[in-house]
Amino acid sequence: MKSFTQHPIPLKAPFWKKAHPVDVAYIGYGLVIVVMVIGSYVLGAVNWLPHDPAAIDMALLNAPPNTAGHWLGTDFMGRDLLTRLILGIQAYFLPGLTAIAIALTVGSFGGVVAGYWGGRLNLVVTYAANLIDSFPRLVLILLMVAVFKPDIYLIMIVVGITNVPIVAGLIKSKVMLLKEKNFIEAAVALGLGNFRIIFKHILWHNCRALLIIQATLGMAEAILIETSLSYLGFGVQEPIPSWGNMVQAGSNYFLQGQFWPSTAPALAILFTILGFHLLGDGLNNILERKTG
């Protein structure tokens, strides 16, 4: 039995009461993850870490959690796992933001051009988007890595570019929707300039939620790609820690039954990516569907 009660006077409810509780839980969890990621980045940046990330302790190899002051144990060279996990964020944070920035700016540009002016420009943008979509991302990255060099920023630029079609497609369909509702025409009739219509009315008022969602998903993507590349040996290189090369290094001891050194970073990846995905999902449900 599902029960519905009318309150005598309708409440002026805050948004978290209006939203579905599952969405609120998603967003709450996602925000916790975002705070932790930013916090870790700051900790790493000011070098405020529990241990020296490079201090090798040959006596304590692959130690389980909570041994000798190492809360999360140590890796195959006896280095503190927690410290390296916190520091590992450095490998993603700025490169990930680069990828997001490229995807959002180029994608918004393409989407607006295709949707707002349409016609030939739309054909050009669609062709370019399909062209980018024709490359499997990892294969393209391997090509770039082989031709140039395995550099995390280069990789993230490629990730950003391969995300452009997604953003462009979303923005374009949003603009088309507004066009269909004569919204843009009304703004033109009022005498507003193209610049103001595009930036204020289209991008700021009607696409910002969408861009935020894409940004959260972009961060998750950056982490997963780096992890895969680390495994393939093209990611961030030792001794600089990244979660990807930590899982990779740890998994060499997997078959000997030493699970922990690779499981810890793998769980970090799992929870972080889950956080970004759920944040995106929850925001999507609340911001896009309700008002759309």
Partner 1 sequence: MTATILEVQNLAKHYRQPGNLWSSLSARSRIIPAVDDVSFYIKANETMGLVGETGCGKTTIGRTVLKLTRPSAGRIIFDGQDVTDLSPRQFRPYRRQMQMIFQDLDAALNPKMRIKAILKEAMQVHHPMKNGRLDARLEELVAKVNLKKSKLTNYPPELSGGEKRRVGIARALAVGARFLVADEPTSALDVSIQAQVVNLLKQLQATLGLSYLFISHDLRLVELISHKVAVMYLGRIVEMGLAGRIARKPHHPYTHILWSSLVEKKSRETAGIPNPPEASTPGVFDFQRPVHGCRFAPRCPVYHDKGQPAICTDPDATPPLRDVDASHKVACHFPL
Partner 2 sequence: MNYLPILKIEDLCTYFYSRSKQAFIRSVDHVGLQIAKGQTLGLVGESGSGKSVTALSIMGLVRGEPGVISGSIELNTPEGGINLLQGLGLHVRIHRDNGRIMQVAKDADAWEKTADRNLRGIRGKQIAMIFQDPKNAMNPFVAVGRQIAEAVRLNTAVAGHREARARALHWLAQVRIDSPQLRYHNNPHGLSGGMCQRAMIAMALAAEPVVLIADEPTTGLDATIQSHIVDLMGDLKDELALTTLLISHDIDVIRSLADTVAVMYGGTIMQQGPVQAVLGDTGTQHPYTAALLDSIPDQRLIRSKGYLQAIRGDVLDTMNIPAGCRFYPRCNKVDDTIRAQCRDQEPALINIAGGHRVRCWRFAQARPYSGRAAVHAMQRN
Partner 3 sequence: MQTSALKPIARLLTKELLIAVLLLLGVSLVVFFILYLAPGNPFATLAGKRAGSNWHQIQDNEPSGAWYAQYLHWLGRVVQGDLGHSTRSGLPVFNEVIKTGLNTAFLTIGSILLTLLLAVPIAVYTARKGLTAIGWGLTAGSYILAALPSFWFGYIVIYICIHQFGVFPLAFGADASQWRGIYFLLPVLVLGLCSGTLSEMVRYLREELSRVLTEDYIRTARAKGASIWKHALREGFVLPVTEMVAAKIPFVLGGAVVVEQVFNWPGMGRLAWQAAQDRDFPMIMGITLMAAVFVRTGSLIKQVVHICVNPRASQE
- Tell me the two tokens of residue 250: 């740890």
Q: Pick one of 109, 135, 183, 260: the residue that binds partner 3 (CB under 8 A).
A: 135
By CB under 8 A, residue 120 contacts partner 2: no
**Whole-number minimum distance, CB 16 to partner 1, in Å?**
18
Residue number, 95 or 165, with CB nearest to partner 3: 165
Closest residue by Cα to residue 155 from 88, 93, 98: 98
Q: Pick one of 24, 34, 49, 137: the residue that binds partner 3 (CB under 8 A).
A: 137
**Whole-number minimum distance, CB 196 to partner 1, in Å?**
9
Pick the stretch among 86-94, 179-187, 207-215, 268-276 that binds partner 3 (CB under 8 A): 268-276
DSSP for 179-220 reads HHTTHHHHHHHHT--HHHIIIIIIIIIIHHHHHHHHHHHHHH
Residue number, 192 or 232, with CB nearest to partner 1: 192
**Whole-number minimum distance, CB 9 to partner 3, in Å?**
29
Q: Pick one of 5, 47, 134, 291: the residue that binds partner 2 (CB under 8 A).
A: 5
By CB under 8 A, residue 43 contacts partner 3: no
Beta bridge partners of 80: 74
Of residues 10 through 29, those in contact with partner 2 by CB under 8 A are 10-11, 13, 18
Residue number, 82 or 112, with CB nearest to partner 1: 112
Residue number, 197 or 278, with CB nearest to partner 3: 278
Residue number, 247 or 286, with CB nearest to partner 1: 286
**Whole-number minimum distance, CB 193 to partner 1, in Å?**
9
- Tell me the two tokens of residue 227: 């992890």
**C-beta of residue 107 within 8 angstroms of C-beta of residue 99:** no
Closest residue by Cα to residue 164 from 117, 202, 113, 206: 113
Closest residue by Cα to residue 82 from 289, 280, 260, 275: 260
**C-beta of residue 155 within 8 angstroms of C-beta of residue 141:** yes
- The Cα–Cα gap between 265 and 77 comes to 15
